[in-house]
């Protein structure tokens, strides 16, 4: 038996045969060209083709692992179009007269080396993204086909490091685990493996040799150890560990149907965020108390036109019926920023994250918006529907939406179509403007959902996808938590509830703080529902001195 130690990415145990993957290495020659303009056109053509591919990969990833992790491929698009990266390649071709493949390869090497030498592990892991992007460009320049391994059943993929696109494109039905010689637990590939539920170990080093090809192995994702041809004693130990961890997961499932209530009687709702029918099934499976945010804009991708009223009606009806009377909060289209489907036909904006998006888009395209409202109200008779308006900045937007709702109801009545009278209307609080006027907005809506993802980046003046984000953003969330407190106070003063549906809602280190701030609901990815319920049930808020000290740390 041989054991090799690495770093764990996803805690689980996998059994299978080691399958080594070696990507094609490009042979790059440094050549002075006589026609740099022609060479530059070759590069531009490759860049455009790569951008199209990355867009397709984004759409595939969005459906399989969710919008958050699909952002990997948005980042890759940003890298390809990065001014410094593009300028370096352009200079090497047009000014120095080098061939396009050498210009890309040398620029990639320089950028990757610079990132690898940084102190931040997060920044070091971005070197893999630069290599992935550059390999994609080189493949188009050199007219090479994309190559992926031919997988046997129950394969444990072994390689130097995996590019994010390779992780996504491999046939996951045949893969039991990943094991890489290098790589980081912060790499996009590691994140993808975790969210796909595939056990993975990174950074095992040179001991992972090709001589082990085809050998039986067990990958222990809990300890970060790969056992090659394990002996009977090791197998028994791993079986015992798997049984223990399985019992822990089973204990979580016993929380299904129980209230999310602290030891001293403080209750909070725990809902799930979803964006498709697969995630709806996971929300039901994990016993979510409701749907805290159904992102409808993703229905618009891969379509020549916006989905019609009937398609939307049946989609919303399915979600309402599946939740069997539990609240389902459906967000109206949050189109804009990095979520612009082709059918939106939007002109390019210099900074789309701060441009025409969310409720602004809907109010500019009233016919599209009214079609969505009609579908929502028609579906409302099949469950407990609440409608959420994204990117609100002023109460005037709420008032205009209410006027449109009156029009929609009148049309449905005239057509003899039923709708529920108890549909709630909420505002997504994700801009500083909405925070500061939340006392006014609260008088016109039935609830608040605090969208912390966008609120964070607008508050810190830093894009959440920026490589510097982890290094620069405040670790104690103080400014954000003060905003949450203000929103909750204004909501409760006006007799409405306030929840959080951003990423930090699932952060267990903040759960007690959220309870102390009197947040009414936390909405998280479906897999976090039961762990968060367990965390809530372990907390007691009886000690006022401790609560006061906790809040002082943050507020």
- The catalytic site residues sit at 188, 501
C-alpha radius of gyration, the chain, whole number: 26
Residues 6+ apart with CB under 8 A from 460: 472, 473, 474, 479
Q: Give 94: exposed, middle or buried? Use CB within 10 Å, 0-12, 13-18, 19+.
A: middle
Which residues, other chains included, contact 31 with Cβ-Cβ below 8 Å and sequence gap of 6+? 98, 99, 102
3-state DSSP assignment of residue 170: coil
487, 489, 495, 499: CA torsion to nearest 10: 50
Beta 327-331 vs 291-295: how paired, if at all?
parallel
Q: Looking at the chain, how many residues does it have?
A: 555
- Which residues fall within 8 angstroms of residue 25, CB to CB, at 6 or more apart? none
Biggest CA pair distance of the chain? 79
Pairing of strands 13-20, 327-331: unpaired
Helices marked H in 81-231 = 83-90, 100-116, 121-141, 164-169, 188-195
Please report the DSSP string for 253-287 in residue order.
HTTTT---B-TTS-B-EEEEEESSHHHHHHHHHTT
Q: In this structure, how many other beta carbons lie within 10 angstroms of the beta carbon of residue 460? A: 17
DSSP code of residue 25: P
Q: Given CA atoms 379, 332, 514, 185 in this order, what sign does their dihedral have?
A: positive
Q: State residue 36 phi and psi, 5-degree precision.
A: -60, -30
- H helix intervals, 415-473: 432-436, 438-441, 452-460, 469-472
Q: The tokens 């409608």 sit on which residue?
A: 387
* Residue-wise DSSP of 25-47: PP-----B-S-HHHHHHHHHHHH
Three-state secondary structure call for residue 344: helix
In the chain, what is the straight-line distance between the N-terminal and C-terminal CA atoms, in Å? 54
Partner residues linked to 295 by β-bridges: 331
């Amino acid at each position: 038996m041989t054991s090799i130690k690495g770093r764990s990415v996803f805690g689980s145990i996998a059994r299978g045969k080691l399958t080594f993957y070696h990507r094609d290495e490009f042979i790059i020659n440094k050549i002075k060209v006589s026609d740099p303009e022609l060479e530059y056109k070759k590069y531009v053509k490759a860049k455009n083709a790569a951008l199209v591919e990355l867009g397709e990969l984004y759409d595939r990833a969005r459906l399989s692992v969710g919008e958050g992790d699909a952002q990997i491929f948005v980042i890759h698009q940003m890298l390809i179009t990065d001014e410094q990266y593009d300028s370096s390649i352009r200079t090497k071709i047009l000014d120095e007269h080098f061939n396009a493949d050498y210009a890309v390869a040398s620029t990639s090497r320089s950028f990757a080396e610079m990132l690898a030498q940084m102190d931040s592990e997060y920044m070091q892991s971005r070197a893999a993204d630069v290599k992935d992007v550059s390999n994609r460009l080189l493949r188009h320049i050199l007219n090479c086909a994309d190559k992926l391994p031919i997988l046997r059943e129950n394969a444990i993929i072994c390689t130097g490091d995996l590019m994010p696109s390779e992780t996504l494109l491999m046939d996951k039905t045949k893969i039991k685990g990943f094991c890489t010689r290098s790589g980081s637990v912060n790499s996009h590939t590691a994140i993808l493996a975790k969210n796909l539920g595939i056990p993975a170990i990174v950074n095992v080093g040179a001991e992972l040799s090709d001589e082990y090809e085809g050998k039986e192995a067990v990958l222990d994702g809990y300890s970060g150890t790969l056992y090659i041809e394990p002996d009977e004693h090791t197998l028994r130990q791993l079986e015992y560990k798997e049984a223990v961890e399985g019992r822990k997961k089973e204990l979580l499932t016993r929380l299904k149907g129980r209230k999310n209530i602290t030891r001293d009687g403080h209750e909070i709702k725990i809902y799930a965020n979803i964006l498709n029918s697969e995630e709806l099934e996971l929300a039901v499976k994990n016993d979510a108390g409701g749907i805290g945010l159904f992102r409808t804009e993703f229905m618009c991708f891969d379509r020549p036109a916006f989905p019609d009223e009937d398609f939307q009606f049946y989609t919303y009806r399915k979600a309402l019926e599946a939740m069997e009377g539990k609240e389902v909060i459906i967000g109206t289209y949050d189109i804009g920023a990095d979520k612009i489907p082709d059918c939106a036909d939007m002109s390019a904006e210099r900074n789309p994250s701060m441009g025409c998006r969310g409720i602004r888009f809907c109010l500019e395209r009233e016919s599209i918006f009214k079609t969505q409202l009609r579908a929502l109200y028609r579906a409302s008779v099949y469950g407990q529907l609440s409608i959420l308006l994204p990117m609100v900045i002023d109460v005037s937007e709420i008032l205009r939406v209410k006027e449109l709702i009156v029009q929609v109801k009148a049309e449905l009545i005239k057509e003899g179509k039923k709708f529920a009278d108890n549909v709630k209307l909420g505002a997504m609080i994700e801009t500083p403007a909405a925070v500061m006027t939340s006392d006014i907005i609260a008088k016109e809506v039935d609830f608040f959902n605090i969208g912390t993802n966008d609120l964070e980046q607008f508050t810190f003046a830093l894009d959440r996808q920026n490589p510097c984000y982890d290094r620069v953003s405040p670790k104690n969330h103080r400014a954000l938590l003060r905003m949450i407190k203000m929103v909750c106070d204004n909501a409760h003063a006006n007799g409405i509830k306030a929840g959080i549906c951003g990423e930090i809602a699932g952060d267990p280190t903040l759960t007690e703080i959220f309870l102390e701030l009197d947040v009414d609901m936390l909405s998280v990815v479906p897999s976090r529902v039961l762990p968060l319920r367990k965390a809530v049930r372990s907390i007691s808020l009886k000690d006022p001195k401790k609560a006061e000290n906790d809040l002082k740390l943050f507020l």
